[in-house]
């Protein structure tokens, strides 16, 4: 069974600083990986996803993530934080070979951006 671990339930950065949100997964097969963002009182919105191919994936709002199989990681980064990036971020994993297996989500990381 797959699982996702997000290191740090709360991350705080200064405006303009690097954003790094960590995600490690366990899976017996190369997984599909996702990052979702949730703004206050809203549903989840897809930021980016990795399925196959290039391991560096670019998403919306300047975010990107790199799939590192050797490290079983899929960390989310953004070079320069903006106040509007304050939100909760969820990493999710799925097994592409098991059709009915739904997404498994991490517990989330709340990002605060300090002016």
Partner 1 sequence: NAGVTQTPKFQVLKTGQSMTLQCAQDMNHEYMSWYRQDPGMGLRLIHYSVGAGITDQGEVPNGYNVSRSTTEDFPLRLLSAAPSQTSVYFCASSYSYTSKEQYFGPGTRLTVT
Q: Which residues of this chain interact with partner 1, rule CB under 8 A?
A: 9, 32, 34, 36, 41-46, 49, 90, 94, 96, 99-100, 102-103, 105-108
- Least separation in angstroms between residue 72's CB and partner 1 is 18
Which residues share a beta bridge with 114?
14
Using CA of residue 43, residue 18, residue 25, residue 100, what is the dihedral sign? positive
Alpha-carbon gap, residue 28 to 95, rounded angstroms: 8
- Least separation in angstroms between residue 80's CB and partner 1 is 27
Alpha-carbon gap, residue 75 to 64, rounded angstroms: 8
Q: Based on CB atoms, which residue is closest to partner 1, 70 or 102?
A: 102
- Least separation in angstroms between residue 90's CB and partner 1 is 7
Q: Based on CB atoms, which residue is closest to partner 1, 46 or 83?
A: 46
Alpha-carbon gap, residue 24 to 30, rounded angstroms: 13
Q: Based on CB atoms, which residue is closest to partner 1, 73 or 94?
A: 94
């Amino acid at each position: 069974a797959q699982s996702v671990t997000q290191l740090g339930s709360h991350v705080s950065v200064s405006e303009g600083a690097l954003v790094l949100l960590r995600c490690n997964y366990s899976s017996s097969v190369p997984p599909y990986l996702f990052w979702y963002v949730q703004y206050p009182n809203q549903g989840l919105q897809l930021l980016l996803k990795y399925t196959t191919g290039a391991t560096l994936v670019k998403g919306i709002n300047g975010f990107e993530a790199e799939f590192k199989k050797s490290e079983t990681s899929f960390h989310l980064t953004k070079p320069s934080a903006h106040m509007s990036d304050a939100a909760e971020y969820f990493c999710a994993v799925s097994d592409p070979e098991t059709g009915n297996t739904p997404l498994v989500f991490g517990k989330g990381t709340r990002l605060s951006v300090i002016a």
